[in-house]
Amino acid sequence: MTENEVKAILSGVKYPNFERDIVSYDFVKNIEIKGDQIAIDLEIAASSQEIADELRANIAKAFSDKGHKNVVLNLKQPQAPKETSSRGKNLAPSIKRFVMISSGKGGVGKSTTAVNLAIATAMQGKRVGVLDADIYGPNVPRMMGLENEKLKSIGDRVTPLEAYGVKVMSMGVILEPAQALIWRGPMIIKTIEQFFGDVAWGELDVLFMDMPPGTGDAQLSLAQSVPVSAGAIVTTPQTVALDDAKRGLDMFVKMRIPIAGIVENMSGFICPCCNKEYDIFGKGSAEALAREYKTQTLGEIPIEEGIREGGDNGKPIVFHQPNSETAKRYLLAADRLWSFIENNQGDNADIQPTNH
């Protein structure tokens, strides 16, 4: 056999779950032929054992189909990341569960959702905290009416603020501006670790983490610092927004954060005059996405003046108008989220991120 013949056979082996073959991905690093023995060095980017096993089996089959049994495969893969996802380390051991509220793009209502879900969960008797992890645009304190509160400390630790039965802390408030500047640099993990050590949260059943938009360093660093038990994606129903939502969901899959569901925000409009619900952006489109990612729609939250007003004035709708349709939907979403957290033992290992 020649090297080219070996390459031709390898070109017929697809990388598991992808359309392209392992040669075109440049995973084949070396081929050595000695008599009838073929030695192949393969280096892949995935740390997954399943992918390695599947590749081994497929390569062995491709060669044995052509009558070659004597193939030695030296497969190199990176070490599995130790500290990501729900089984990772916990820098804040007094907090039992962590929920990441994320979105592919900005302005879709993450902070509004995080605040109202947190209060709804507290209204159901849980010990709840909200972490505003958006250091560039921290607005959770304002949404909860805490923007003028001063932080207090006990010893060298900062006590979280509190409103509506929820403990609140904002990274943007506690971190020095200079730290914010190095946020994207190599100091990021250290900064987050320090942050968790600096805050006296006390015992909490759940901490909601309101993330900056997108899928960047903050998400990754948090997922490596605390065991994230659930991720929820906030999106608006327009198709363009759904593409962004996919990116957020893929991020959860890659970080092995269990996906609790999708909140479709600004889904329909409830008229304040007649209480009739109007479909503006096309309601219900998150449902197909939820099915694709084997998850659920946690709630469809309408566009409502009271939501924006509540946000601007620090009077969250779920607390101040608990009988409104919107408040009921937040309460239901919080319920669904809580059941997911209680019941979910698995992870997303069987979902493949789509390629963007």
What is the nearest approach in angstroms of ligand ATP to the Cβ of residue 320? 14
Task: Give the span between the Cα atoms of 200 and 170, in whole angstroms.
Answer: 13
What is the nearest approach in angstroms of ligand ATP to the Cβ of residue 245? 12
- Residue 134 makes contact with ligand ATP by CB under 6 A: yes
Task: Give the span between the Cα atoms of 92 and 265, in whole angstroms.
Answer: 30
Task: Return the residue matching tokens 């820098």.
Answer: 91
Residue (of 242, 237, 235, 241) closest to 284 by Cα position: 237
Q: How far is CA 156 from the centre of its chain?
A: 31
Please choose which of Mg ion, ligand ATP, none residue 307 contacts, taking the beta carbon within 5 to 8 angstroms, the exact cut-off set by kind: ligand ATP
Nearer CB in complex with ligand ATP: 42/307: 307
Q: How far is CA 34 from the centre of its chain?
A: 49
What is the nearest approach in angstroms of Mg ion to the Cβ of residue 294? 27
Within 71-110, the residues that bind Mg ion by CB under 5 A are 110
- Residue 111 makes contact with Mg ion by CB under 5 A: yes
- The binding track of 80-119 with respect to ligand ATP, each residue x by CB under 6 A or -, is -----------------------x--xxxxxxx-------
What is the nearest approach in angstroms of ligand ATP to the Cβ of residue 145? 14
What is the nearest approach in angstroms of Mg ion to the Cβ of residue 110? 5
Say which residues have a Cβ less than 8 Å from residue 267's Cβ, sequence separation at least 6: 236, 237, 281, 283, 284, 286, 300, 301, 302, 303
- 100's tokens: 């990441």
Please choose which of ligand ATP, Mg ion, none residue 258 contacts, taking the beta carbon within 5 to 8 angstroms, the exact cut-off set by kind: none
Please choose which of ligand ATP, Mg ion, none residue 107 contacts, taking the beta carbon within 5 to 8 angstroms, the exact cut-off set by kind: ligand ATP
Task: Give the span between the Cα atoms of 57 and 203, in whole angstroms.
Answer: 49
Say which residues have a Cβ less than 8 Å from residue 206's Cβ, sequence separation at least 6: 95, 96, 97, 98, 99, 121, 126, 127, 128, 129, 341
Query: For Mg ion, which residue has the nearest CB?
Result: 111
* Size of interface with Mg ion, in residues (CB under 5 A): 2
Q: Which positions lie near Mg ion, rule CB under 5 A? A: 110-111
Q: Which positions lie near ligand ATP, rule CB under 6 A? A: 103, 106-112, 134, 137, 139, 213, 265-266, 301, 303-304, 307-308, 311
